[in-house]
Amino acid sequence: MTVQSAKQSKLLKFLELDIPSWVAILNFFTVACLLLGVFAANYLNVKVSVLISYMFAEQPGLGVPYDFTGKDMSGHYFGDFLQTVDWSTRQNPWTLGIANYPPLPVYLLKLISWMPYDSARLVYFLAIFLFAVLVTWFITKGLPTAARFTLSGALGLAGAPILAALDRGNNVAFVGAMFGLFVYAIVRDKKKLAVAMLVLMVSFKIYPVIFGLVFLRKKWFKEAAVSAAIVVALNTLLFAITPGGLAATFQGFWKANQTFGSIQSGFAVNAWTDALTQMGWSAPDASAFSAQWIAGLVKLLPWMAIIAAASATLLGQLSLMERLYLLAMATMFFNGAPISYNWTWAPFFIALAFVALHTRNEEEGRIGRYWLREPLLTYATVTLAVLCMPAGWHFEGTQLALLPYMGWLFGLVGVVLALAVNSARVAAKWRVSSDS
């Protein structure tokens, strides 16, 4: 055996590890990255994360005079939580022009807004932790108990998107866990759970409405209609009971989201320009050229989202997990992927992908070579795991992390891979039919 063939043999044996072994490897690197980040932040004075150790927008613009006294924790304000709690204390934050969330999360925070601020914050953060851990445990049925236990801790507590959501106090952490339950329900044909999770996701954030396409693909037309009716009825009711009038309240909500969308589209350009400046590439002509190039790329993102969503809906030879990955990537193209906490769906998708690969291995009675049988699912698991590492790479002096930008590239390659996988399966199916 030559040296090269021996190396190839060792590589194949490594790649053919069983799923619990891959879970252990992911857990190790997640915890290692977190510990190294803590060490660097405390002993080397390094800003290891753009959102966790770099205080971005600590005192959010609440739109009205607000007392920040007693709202900080060592100078940290958990700005999104602070902002939403403030909205929940107002009679109508939408007509004030300060709220862009749907009404449900604002009204839910009213349940704890009467508490002392520190107590309300503690309840909120404990709810995020418990929900993330318990959902990860629940959706990983089928994996060995040890793998489920450690995966729940690593992804539910130490994954970069969850940490970023906690650092901001953003309710997208709940939406990510809801997505995990939604995917679990879709794969296992649990219609009521799927409807409930879709309604909740859309009532917390608007963009998860795109996941309704999988209902159409599964021909769950009744469930799609019921989900739409509940979302419309629930949000209309909550807006209607808000002082100020239904029409004025909805108009304020719509206007705030339009403003937020225009801000999102400028994130990439501003971050790229700031990064060039920090790296010493601040020549006006170069900065202007690169900013124009990035601005052009941002304009392509909606088209990438449409292609991803269309592929998830129309390609005939993809599995449900593969379709849901493409729809999740479509939301990233639509919704400003450079914000780290928008990826809170990723840890839960990784957990579900491990279950799917483990189940496939048991059914076939052999180990490994996932990349041959499930190339898109394996690719999604690996690339999302990279984005979930709490490494916190970012351009010093900018407000946004580097890894979520890489997510756009990963997603683009994922869409191309989906097209290739679908074509290969169509060709294989055609060969089988022609041979018979």
357-408: pLDDT as tens digits? 888 776 665 555 666 788 999 999 999 999 888 876 665 555 556 777 788 8
What does the longest C-alpha to C-alpha distance in the chain come to? 80
Instruction: For residues 312 and 320, give the distance between their C-alpha atoms in angstroms, rounded to a whole number.
Output: 9
Instruction: For residues 190 and 207, give the distance between their C-alpha atoms in angstroms, rounded to a whole number.
Output: 22
Using DSSP's 3-state secondary structure scheme, residue 256 falls into: helix
pLDDT at 237: 96
CB atoms within 10 A of CB 204: 18
- Residue 212 CA, chain-centre distance (Å), reads 17
Q: Which phi-psi region, left, alpha or beta, contains residue 119 (left: φ > 0; alpha: ψ -120 to 50)?
A: alpha
Main-chain phi, psi angles of 58, to 5 degrees: -65, -35
Instruction: For residues 39 and 54, give the distance between their C-alpha atoms in angstroms, rounded to a whole number.
Output: 15
pLDDT tens digits, one per residue of 153-211: 888 788 888 888 888 888 999 999 999 999 999 999 999 999 999 999 999 998 899 99
User: Do residues 313 and 213 make contact, with C-beta atoms less than 8 angstroms apart?
Assistant: yes
- Residue type at 304 in one-letter notation: M
Q: Which of 119-133, 274-288, 357-371 has the highest mean pLDDT?
A: 119-133
What band does 85 get if pLDDT is binned at 50, 70 and 90? confident
User: Do residues 161 and 340 make contact, with C-beta atoms less than 8 angstroms apart?
Assistant: yes
Residues 6+ apart with CB under 8 A from 310: none
Pick the closest to residue 195 from 206, 211, 207, 173 (CA basis).
Answer: 211
Instruction: For residues 246 and 236, give the distance between their C-alpha atoms in angstroms, rounded to a whole number.
Output: 8
Instruction: For residues 197 and 182, give the distance between their C-alpha atoms in angstroms, rounded to a whole number.
Output: 6
Instruction: For residues 124 and 142, give the distance between their C-alpha atoms in angstroms, rounded to a whole number.
Output: 30
Which has more pLDDT, 213 or 370? 213
The per-type count for the chain, helices as H runs and strands as E runs, is 18, 0
Pick the closest to residue 385 from 22, 16, 105, 127 (CA basis).
Answer: 22
Which has more pLDDT, 376 or 255? 376
User: Do residues 307 and 318 make contact, with C-beta atoms less than 8 angstroms apart?
Assistant: no
The tokens describing 35, both together, are 């510990």
User: Do residues 328 and 381 make contact, with C-beta atoms less than 8 angstroms apart?
Assistant: no
Instruction: For residues 426 and 435, give the distance between their C-alpha atoms in angstroms, rounded to a whole number.
Output: 14
Residues 6+ apart with CB under 8 A from 45: none
Average pLDDT for 26-39: 85
Which has more pLDDT, 52 or 196? 196
pLDDT at 90: 86
Average pLDDT for 274-282: 56
pLDDT at 56: 45
Which has more pLDDT, 229 or 51? 229
Main-chain phi, psi angles of 84, to 5 degrees: -70, -35
- In the chain, domain spans: 14-435
User: Do residues 183 and 324 make contact, with C-beta atoms less than 8 angstroms apart?
Assistant: yes
> What pTM value is reported for the model?
0.87
pLDDT greater than 60 at residue 305: yes
Angstrom CA distances, 378 to 146, 148, 293, stand at 22, 19, 32
Tell me what the pLDDT averaged over the chain comes to: 81
Instruction: For residues 350 and 384, give the distance between their C-alpha atoms in angstroms, rounded to a whole number.
Output: 7
Least confident of 68-77, 106-115, 301-310: 68-77
Percent of the chain with pLDDT over 90: 42
Instruction: For residues 111 and 123, give the distance between their C-alpha atoms in angstroms, rounded to a whole number.
Output: 11
pLDDT at 263: 52
- Residue type at 103 in one-letter notation: P
What band does 55 get if pLDDT is binned at 50, 70 and 90? very low
What band does 127 get if pLDDT is binned at 50, 70 and 90? very high
**Consecutive H or E run containing 172:** helix 172-187
